[in-house]
Structure 1
């Protein structure tokens, strides 16, 4: 064939190939991030800042996870160790509330300045740590818009056969809608760790025994009352007080308590961080669930009858006469013992668990507002509150995100334990810092050995000072996966995770995970083989605080 005809043939062939229709459900990027949490978005921003293409595959429609899902009274800890993009988030919150039109239901000067361990509005540092859900969501959407981040929402990983691996690496993930996302690196930024699990990475669910890592505060902790979330009075657990033959009241387990320090597969309780309004023009009455049964809350009625009076202690004020409302007391918004199946449950089963939590919590609020067994002064005050009309407007003004305080936890290259958190063991290769106390909500509600009802699992042990978090906690063992990073379901014990699991820390670890992913792409190496000095240098340049002497 003459050379000219040969070249013409090649040209026609290339044209034909280029004209082949592309699969509209196939997408490719340097980095694929699964999840819509605060960690997911900070990771995506960091990847873009480092010149990498990135796609966020989010099961959620609304971005930001708990940070935009009602947890506006930030668990700050020591704010001086919150740097990088996490601090940028809280700076943007500050700038939002500098605008007069952000104060619709309350004058700024009337708000006060109460935060959790720090002023709500820190004018010197130009950060704000307390905020409304919609304000947080807007910051995450601004990040997405400004950095031109591709986000595919309502896309759920096919957990059965949606992860394709080759030679120890994830090649692509597939969602239930049929979309396929191919990448060089992957980040699992979900609260549940679904991608991590589907990729065959080792993990743990529940509490390890104290013997596992030589800890003190892991496992069963009956009789340890470090917060106010326990029964201080002798409350009978039986339908007929004092009569075991009458059966247990609702919301009490019939399990026998295991020895202290023993491990189990149980989880600390979940709830919804409700955003309530005290402005008469911006509140809605608490709705009555279809399956409402006041007897479900008989145990709370007995707590009131015994004289307990702390109902409103965790109605924490956020701007515009709203609250971030959290669990408080022996019987409250935490739905104790009803989430054990959640981590491994199917999507359908999880939706049922979430609905049960919502029904329980909505019923609780209706009970507080209407039941004559509730003290009149409580009913009168609860009448000042209602669901905020201008929050979660597409979900009946109820939070989109349940508070998954703990789910799967990876067993990675390193495992953070209470020894590192409490400063008893040095952390090698730090990529960020935490500072909150070892914090677990109650895990179970049982009948104690004395025949009265009691909660178990609530701990709160404060570290001496902020602590570093190692790079090895966000990467799997190399033989399990070479191109995955996990900044939320980190490799840690139950007790250590109780401190690490704060939203600012998730943002910090999201940025660090994306940094490592980008550097590993550039060097074409496994995340486990990345020289720590490279990560350290880049993170330091980007304002991440990794050791105590660097704090802001």
Structure 2
């Protein structure tokens, strides 16, 4: 497989002295590795950036142009500078070939209005050009080495807990006082003897709710039809179709399985630049039988998610039940040797190319669906050295270090806030599906998809450094220390850029202070990070324009949404003010009739109570939300119009006065059955009369 490298990086690659030594050696030319190298140079030090392949930028230059952010305010430093440079790049009218700049921004694709000084969508080659320019500006202090892979058997030499040198398969050696592992796989970290985890932890390991096996959460990218999983329909003795497990495992338990990988395809609808989907030479229809059965069962959804980039191109991602994610076929990848990884990589490429041809041309696929998939094809002017196919597999998760501090969902929800921030995460806690299995009824389901909201949160310095007893001179900004579900939020390219820069800053501080990486003065590190415009923390919510209400400031007994018994209502919100405590939840205007929230108070005495519920009114809310009050005299159902502002104080809507027994016999339940529009749940109030 061939990869492109540009003139400026070629110059850097040929300028290394025989010593193969620098202040910081960075293994992995991902976005995090690039920002680490640039930051090292800007601090007056030298960096060697070793990239095992022949191209830089990882996913940022490898097809992922629809930047996942969560909250742009969380992105600072070199990361924001990169997106500012993307904006400058597209300010040049000559960069627009298939459409005009005004035409693109008029559609506000992926939140781009054109009015900002940053831009968050881009073509792969544009990201490469911007990175090359930034590296060229760093000058001779950054040396880029291509096509050198760590020797997985003897590649790390240590003196006690300190790495003294690393050795490539070619025998080439690199020395430095500080090392950074910026790969997606974490090979350098692992071979340095640093503890790590692969797969999902059980929920009870870090006192979480969203980790481990999550059968109940897999709803967004799920089968909507009953599809037979057996080679011969209805015959379990015939065996399962490829890629399907017998059962998912025990709910909330841990395993060694990782979320699905795919390629982020750059496609286009411009006929002169579009390459038609081709049937792979080794096409094996057995792998696509499940997709064909799903279509024949009536699932007519177009199973991909194209996000529009400039020049009528897309970043095309996974979507729905059977799409570009090669579910369950990557579990061995994180700890595999290079040969095994290459086979897994090729299997993913074969799957995705085969699926695209199947949906676009197979006679068992309805004509309308085939036409939809034929409308887009690979862009002929991207990845010219690789048959227009992306050069980077989306390794969403591999090894995760177990460092000085493990980031968990409590951090993502700001229920636990660290004080040694080196950057911020802000994206949803997002895990793609992990496996397919057979239900007790004999049908196929996906498992592992979890998408739950986060609040912008700081990422700990201790989460990018190992325990001192294991290694004293390595930083890990990509395979950092986080639980599976927290990593699902952190694992975004802009965040890797942020953490790569912070890792380099910390490495230089350790050199200058003459100490191990765990011993640096955090106050001085923080001072430098802020000087470099890194965003370390901000309160959201409440932001200045958003306010929340404490339970202690309200009358009566308050049951918050965080205390309610939930079926569904996984999406969290905090943008519309007036909510109780940390935020509210909503049904995402989906899965109607399947989601409900029960608020159960502990009433100190029997008697009459005035009951009310809190919600934030907006035009996208449902007008017919059914609310059931279960009281001593039976049940009363009230319909609430959540487009209208609540009639009571503090955004509470009175439901009436009811008699209750003491204890927890009574409750209020909000459902989304029969509703159209978003249903909000926030809090229930019980005031004794």
- Report TM bin, short chain: over 0.9
User: Does residue 170 of the first structure (1) align with residue 160 of the second (2)?
Assistant: no
Give the CA deviation at 1:95.
0.6
User: Does residue 415 of the first structure (1) align with residue 422 of the second (2)?
Assistant: no
Give the CA deviation at 1:119.
2.1
Which structure carries more strand by proportion?
2
User: Does residue 267 of the first structure (1) align with residue 263 of the second (2)?
Assistant: no
Structure-2 residue corresponding to 1:474: 464
Query: 1:248-288, CA deviations, whole angstroms, 9 ceiling, x for partnerless residues?
Result: 2222223x221111000000000000111211111112222
**Unaligned runs of at least 5 residues, structure 1:** 1-22
Give the alignment partner of residue 491 of structure 2, picking from 501, 526, 550: 501
Contact 1:199 1:481 (8 Å CA) reproduced: yes
C-alpha distance in 2, partners of 1:222/1:113?
41
Flag the structure with more relative contact order, 1 or 2, with Cα contacts below 8 A and sequence separation at least 6. 1
Give the alignment partner of residue 42 of structure 1, picking from 19, 35, 38: 35
Kindly report which structure 2 residues correspond to 1:305-384, keeping only aligned pairs within 5 A, or say none.
Answer: 305-311=296-302, 314-384=305-375
Query: 1:160-215, CA deviations, whole angstroms, 9 ceiling, x for partnerless residues?
Result: 11111113211111111221111010000000000000100000000000111111
Contact 2:304 2:318 (8 Å CA) reproduced: no
**Unaligned runs of at least 5 residues, structure 2:** 1-15, 545-689
Give the CA deviation at 1:107.
1.9
Give the alignment partner of residue 27 of structure 1, picking from 17, 20, 23: 20
User: Does residue 203 of the first structure (1) align with residue 219 of the second (2)?
Assistant: no
C-alpha distance in 2, partners of 1:121/1:42?
26
Contact 2:263 2:392 (8 Å CA) reproduced: yes
Contact 1:26 1:179 (8 Å CA) reproduced: no
Q: CA 1:373/1:462 → structure 2, altered by over 3 Å: closer, same or farther?
A: same
C-alpha distance in 1, partners of 2:154/2:412?
37
User: Does residue 433 of the first structure (1) align with residue 424 of the second (2)?
Assistant: yes
Which structure carries more helix by proportion?
1
C-alpha distance in 2, partners of 1:145/1:113?
34
SS at match of 1:128: coil
Structure-2 residue corresponding to 1:485: 475
Query: 1:20-79, CA deviations, whole angstroms, 9 ceiling, x for partnerless residues?
Result: xxx975411000000010000001111111111111011121111001100001112100
Kindly report which structure 2 residues correspond to 1:74-473, keeping only aligned pairs within 5 A, or say none.
Answer: 74-112=67-105, 119-124=111-116, 126-148=117-139, 149-227=142-220, 229-254=221-246, 256-311=247-302, 314-463=305-454, 465-473=455-463
Give the CA deviation at 1:297.
1.2
Rg comparison, structure with higher value: 2
Q: CA 1:184/1:40 → structure 2, altered by over 3 Å: closer, same or farther?
A: same
C-alpha distance in 2, partners of 1:443/1:210?
16
C-alpha distance in 2, partners of 1:293/1:353?
16
Instruction: Say what the alpha-carbon RMSD is for the aligned residues.
Output: 1.7
SS at match of 1:508: helix
Give the CA deviation at 1:114.
5.7
Give the CA deviation at 1:417.
0.6
Q: CA 1:486/1:310 → structure 2, altered by over 3 Å: closer, same or farther?
A: same
Count, aligned residues: 525
Contact 2:303 2:323 (8 Å CA) reproduced: no
Query: 1:2-21, CA deviations, whole angstroms, 9 ceiling, x for partnerless residues?
Result: xxxxxxxxxxxxxxxxxxxx
TM-score (norm 2): 0.74
Query: 1:122-172, CA deviations, whole angstroms, 9 ceiling, x for partnerless residues?
Result: 423x10001111101111111211112210011101121111111321111
C-alpha distance in 1, partners of 2:94/2:435?
45
Structure-1 residue corresponding to 2:53: 60
Structure-1 residue corresponding to 2:514: 524
Give the CA deviation at 1:549.
5.0
C-alpha distance in 1, partners of 2:288/2:108?
31
